């Protein structure tokens, strides 16, 4: 860390996500919602256009331990690691006897997909591919904020090997594979990735 009163350096910014104190996002569709997380928890505020203010609509948000939604770009299936393919296969084969059936929902917007899974339960995956083994999403300003929010709501976020918030960045635009969602679904994914 730079000394107080001295110019900031690049290293001041290259800190792991576990040093964050807050994160949030705004999502809009039929309504506009601000989701904001601090170390105390996650709260959702919906814009009331009649007064032009955000009002607390979803206090103390919690990510369900299980869900029935998996979000992944299926177009890249054959470029994913075999163990990621195995987990997707498990999701597709879920039925009433083992917690399913699951539904695949992938909007192509991480904010929308992760928000839906945060509210309803689910898992979002953006694995590395044979062409892009480090994935597409940026660690510092895409993955870390969402990992912070979802973890504060009781979910889990990893790169498939370690907790996202514990990764020590080496570059501002560093990319990483990203898996995030309901704890039970993430536990099942991790058991397959580690097998």
Q: For the chain, where are the alpha helices, taking DSSP H only?
A: 10-13, 82-92, 110-120, 144-152, 183-193
What does the pLDDT read at residue 49?
95
How far apart are alpha carbons 119 and 105 in whole angstroms? 14
Which tokens is 125 given? Answer: 């995956």
% pLDDT > 70, the chain: 100
Vertex 150, ends 148 and 152: CA angle to 5°? 65
What does the pLDDT read at residue 47?
98
pLDDT digits (tens, 9 = 90+) for 25-43: 999 989 999 999 999 999 9
In Å, how far are 92, 101, 110, 169, 179 from 104, measured between CA atoms? 8, 10, 14, 31, 15
Assigned CATH topology for domain 69-193: D-Maltodextrin-Binding Protein; domain 2 (3.40.190)
Residue spans in the chain of domains classed CATH 3.40.190.80: 69-193
What global pTM score does this model have?
A: 0.94
pLDDT of residue 93 exceeding 80, the answer is yes
């Amino acid at each position: 860390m730079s000394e107080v009163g001295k110019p900031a350096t690049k290293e001041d910014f290259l800190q792991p996500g576990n040093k964050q104190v807050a994160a949030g996002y705004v999502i809009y569709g039929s309504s506009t919602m601000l989701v904001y997380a601090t170390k105390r928890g996650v709260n959702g505020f919906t814009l009331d256009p009649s007064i032009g203010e955000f009002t607390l609509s979803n206090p103390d948000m919690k990510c369900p331990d299980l869900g029935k939604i998996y979000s992944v770009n299926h177009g890249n299936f054959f470029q994913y690691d075999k163990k990621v393919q195995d987990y997707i296969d498990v999701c597709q084969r879920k039925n009433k006897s083992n917690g399913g059936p699951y539904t695949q929902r992938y909007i192509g917007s991480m904010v929308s997909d992760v928000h839906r899974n945060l509210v309803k339960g689910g898992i979002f995956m953006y694995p590395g591919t044979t062409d892009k083994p480090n994935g597409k999403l940026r660690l510092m300003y895409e993955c870390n904020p969402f990992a912070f929010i979802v973890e504060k709501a009781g979910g889990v976020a990893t790169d498939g090997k370690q907790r996202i918030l514990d990764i020590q960045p080496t570059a501002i635009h560093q990319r990483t594979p990203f898996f995030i969602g309901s704890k039970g679904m993430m536990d099942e994914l991790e058991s397959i990735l580690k097998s």
